[in-house]
Structure 1
Amino acid sequence: MSTQLEGPRPAAARAVIRAVSELVLIAVLFCLYKLGRSLITGQEQEALQHGDLVRRLEAVLRLPSEAAIQAAVHSEPLFRVANVYYTSVHFPLMALFLLWGFLLRPRAEYLWARNLVILQTGAALVIHMLFPLAPPRMFPSWGFLDTMARYGPSPYDGASADLANQFAAMPSLHVGWAVLIAYVVARTGPRWLAVCAALHAALTTFIVVVTANHWWLDAVAGVLLLVAADAVLRRTHRGGT
């Protein structure tokens, strides 16, 4: 009788240990990422030069002008809402996504998604260090409006300014994470949630452009890092079988 009562306890203990381990891992990785971004300093001139390079490359590729799109949809209420979405949804939604995966999806699916996030984000940090890039909003002479500075809110004001790196535009993890969430949910989640995730990815891409926080190529780079991370995990899985 005693054995039957105590049987579930080891399983419950293992579940708690796994949950705590995941929380610690994610917290450590998040802190390392924020620390890495904050330590990248003294890059303003290089970042501005890279901005000119990206603008020229986009012109060669005949990508739509971000400044023209921003001017076409110019609206103070829209900019304010877009700024709130940009500053408020990014990290909380990723935390919610990982929590959903840990609690409600099979462990193998969760680990795959978590590892995608780790690989994509780690690669993005390396690029941030090697290729500092000023966002479009820093080039008013090219017709860009800094909607966060003009209308708020801005993550670059107040206490958060000390931890923010404004020259980490390439790649866009706002877009990269949003597309990652949409990709994982499309493969592993219910259809209605996949539709919501896809809409979030599309809306995020629109918002980073209309607020002049990212270039088109930043968004492309974020998605390409996801493709590369997925390829690495697929190859690793095949190598382990």
Structure 2
Amino acid sequence: MATFPIEEPQWNSAPAWKLPGWAEPIMVASILVGSMIITRRHNFRIFDRRRQYNLLDDDPDFESTRSSDDMLSRDRMVGNEGDDSSIDSMSTMKNPPKRRRCCGMNPDLAEVPVLDRDVLLDYYLRLLSMYEPSLECGVSKTAIWDVAQDHGLAVLEFEQFSWLSFLWPVHERDVQQWFMHGHQTFLTVLNRSYALIHIPGTVGFIAWYYYAAPSFNTFAVVRRTMTLTNLFAFIIFIFYPCMPPRLLPPEYGFLDSVGRNNAQSVWMSGKYVNALAAMPSMHFGYAFIIGSTFIYHSGVFRRTLETGETRRSKPWALFYVLLAIWYPAWILTTIVATANHYYLDAMMAFFVVLVAYLCNRVFLGFLPLEDLLHWCLRLNKPVPTTGDKMRRKSAS
């Protein structure tokens, strides 16, 4: 068994001022609105009667439009070389068909089959039957709580007694105790960091990188990796509920410092929040993605740059490298010191992010559905503005 202190943890810090519930939503909304203004398309009017839904993609912005999904190339629907009849016939059609290559085939979106309602209902019922044992177990909240607690204690024992124990020479409990005795002001800062950085910081990063990325393809890789990381983590949360250290019985030596400091995030409170989702740590997973992106953006470890991208000055490159190291390290210190995660949670987040990055192109399989939706609504796909600044500089 793992070794734990006998006395309950003590922290004499007075609760800090609680952030109003409306503050975080205002922060996130401000970031989103501000990024929309900064990255908007100039000289563009929403209500323009001259614009028509064009499936041929023969507008000047076609190249930038297709940049987000060039993994599935479009068929320009031209006939044999030198034969212009097919082009003329297509150009006279009001809503000509649109094609994409998918699995070696060129499906016509005008002839996409629609699943029968009864078939969809049967598939849905079969899907529910797969999770029937889990739903029966989920009726008992106490049972899930006990299982999650056992998993949390198993993580502690693995960190102390497995062959990988050398990776964690300082236990999570000792880290929190160090902050609680003589460094309480710093712990209060970490409590605020845990609540405020995760969601507003991540949203701010996405908004910034949409503007700063050298191309939309590069931005899309980061976005898809984050999305797939979320999906993988959600699956793990379902099949491996894990209690964070702060929720373990007091005799195990951990304290919920975030709750003690009234520093809870409005996004992480309420009855619809899963408190037993410690493994993996999404805080560290996002931080690792952001840090890796900063490393890439610095250009230090890249011999060649993307089209239109210029080599950054040494001070800026050093800034991005230091930020890439500091941010994940800060988040790791935060999640451990506040007893919200184990070391192993961060380690698992690293592997989840790695797998998500290697598999992020799986989302490109939804491009035919995206095209179908645009075809049904008679809409053109928005042209991304990512990289516009670099293209303008290279053109000038």
Give the TM interval when normalised to the shorter protein: 0.7 to 0.9
Query: In the TM superposition, what is the alpha-carbon distance from 1:68 to its structure 2 partner?
Result: 1.1
Contact kept in structure 2, 1:137 and 1:212, CA below 8 Å:
yes
1:71 equivalent to 2:177? Answer yes
The equivalences for 1:151-230 within 5 A come to 151-155=261-265, 160-189=269-298, 191=317, 192-230=319-357
In structure 2, distance between residues paired with 1:141 and 1:110: 46
Matched residues, percent identical?
A: 26
Structure label with greater radius of gyration:
2
Contact kept in structure 1, 2:336 and 2:343, CA below 8 Å:
yes
The equivalences for 1:8-157 within 5 A come to 42=141, 43-60=144-161, 61-62=164-165, 63=168, 64-74=170-180, 75-105=183-213, 106-139=215-248, 140-155=250-265
Contact kept in structure 2, 1:179 and 1:198, CA below 8 Å:
no
Query: In the TM superposition, what is the alpha-carbon distance from 1:12 to its structure 2 partner?
Result: 10
In structure 1, distance between residues paired with 2:297 and 2:241: 35
Q: Which runs of 5+ in 2 are unaligned?
A: 1-42, 45-50, 52-58, 67-134, 299-315, 365-396
Measured against aligned partners, the alpha-carbon deviations of 1:164-202 in whole angstroms (never above 9, x if no partner) come to 211000000100100110101211345223422321110
Equivalences, count: 207
Shift >3 Å, 4+ stretches: 8-14, 233-237
Query: In the TM superposition, what is the alpha-carbon distance from 1:13 to its structure 2 partner?
Result: 9.4
In structure 2, distance between residues paired with 1:187 and 1:202: 18
In structure 1, distance between residues paired with 2:282 and 2:329: 14
In structure 2, distance between residues paired with 1:148 and 1:12: 53
In structure 1, distance between residues paired with 2:233 and 2:270: 20
Measured against aligned partners, the alpha-carbon deviations of 1:81-100 in whole angstroms (never above 9, x if no partner) come to 11110000111111111112
Residue 236 to residue 83, structure 1, CA distance change in 2 (3 Å): closer
Q: Secondary structure at the match of 1:132?
A: coil
Residue identity in the other structure for 1:50: H
Contact kept in structure 2, 1:181 and 1:197, CA below 8 Å:
yes
Q: Secondary structure at the match of 2:270?
A: helix
Contact kept in structure 2, 1:156 and 1:164, CA below 8 Å:
no
Query: In the TM superposition, what is the alpha-carbon distance from 1:204 to its structure 2 partner?
Result: 0.4
Contact kept in structure 2, 1:135 and 1:212, CA below 8 Å:
yes
In structure 1, distance between residues paired with 2:230 and 2:347: 15
Q: Secondary structure at the match of 1:163?
A: coil
Query: In the TM superposition, what is the alpha-carbon distance from 1:156 to its structure 2 partner?
Result: 7.8
In structure 2, distance between residues paired with 1:49 and 1:153: 27
Q: Which runs of 5+ in 1 are unaligned?
A: 1-7, 19-38
Instruction: Decide which structure has greater helix share.
Output: 1
Residue identity in the other structure for 1:148: V
Q: Secondary structure at the match of 1:56?
A: helix
Query: In the TM superposition, what is the alpha-carbon distance from 1:215 to its structure 2 partner?
Result: 0.4
Query: In the TM superposition, what is the alpha-carbon distance from 1:151 to its structure 2 partner?
Result: 2.1
Measured against aligned partners, the alpha-carbon deviations of 1:101-156 in whole angstroms (never above 9, x if no partner) come to 22221101111110110111110011011111111112221111211222221248
Give the alignment's Cα RMSD to 1 decimal: 3.0
Q: Secondary structure at the match of 1:89?
A: helix
In structure 1, distance between residues paired with 2:193 and 2:60: 38
Residue in structure 2 matched with residue 29 of structure 1 by the alignment: none
State the TM-score, normalized to the length of structure 2.
0.48
Measured against aligned partners, the alpha-carbon deviations of 1:12-35 in whole angstroms (never above 9, x if no partner) come to 999xx99xxxxxxxxxxxxxxxxx
Q: Secondary structure at the match of 2:246?
A: helix
Residue identity in the other structure for 1:66: E
Query: In the TM superposition, what is the alpha-carbon distance from 1:72 to its structure 2 partner?
Result: 1.9
Residue 141 to residue 93, structure 1, CA distance change in 2 (3 Å): same
